[in-house]
Amino acid sequence: MSDIFQEVEEDVRRERYEQLWKKYGNVIIAAAVVLVLAVAGYQAWRTYDLSQRQKVSERYREASQAAESGNMVKAETDFAALSKDAPAGYATLSKLHLAGALNTASAGPPSDIDEDTICFEHFIPYSYLMR
């Protein structure tokens, strides 16, 4: 006798799920598609962002190696380019390297680098530029 009640209960449950699927099936599918597209877009953005960061990092490394090897013309050119178009962190480091390199190569700091602006904008002690 309980088997009949279980079968009826299962049929009622199945019919209820079918009605829910007919009513909300398209919404569930659309939500799943939106979720998959959102995750794919986020992953694509992360990959793009990482590749851009790696490119800037490689440019900074090349400029640093040029400065260490004594090729100051290439180092100055690379650091000047990085100070203009790199993200804030690398731009600040490039300005500091450029100011330091030009300061040691000449009698004083270069005229196109404003050390006060660098120091006040980024809270860097002025004495770091004079090393």
On the question of pLDDT at 31 being above 80, the answer is: yes
Count up the domains in the chain and report the number.
Answer: 1
Q: Read off the pLDDT band of 98 (50, 70, 90).
A: confident
Task: Give the pLDDT confidence score for residue 25 in this predicted structure.
Answer: 92
Tell me the residue range of the domain where 40 lies.
2-130
Alpha helices in the chain (DSSP H): 2-69, 72-85, 88-105, 115-122
Task: Give the pLDDT confidence score for residue 12 in this predicted structure.
Answer: 85
Which pTM was predicted? 0.62
On the question of pLDDT at 10 being above 70, the answer is: yes
The rounded distance, in Å, linking the Cα atoms of 120 and 92 is 12
The rounded distance, in Å, linking the Cα atoms of 60 and 49 is 17
Q: Read off the pLDDT band of 61 (50, 70, 90).
A: very high
- Type of residue at 92: T
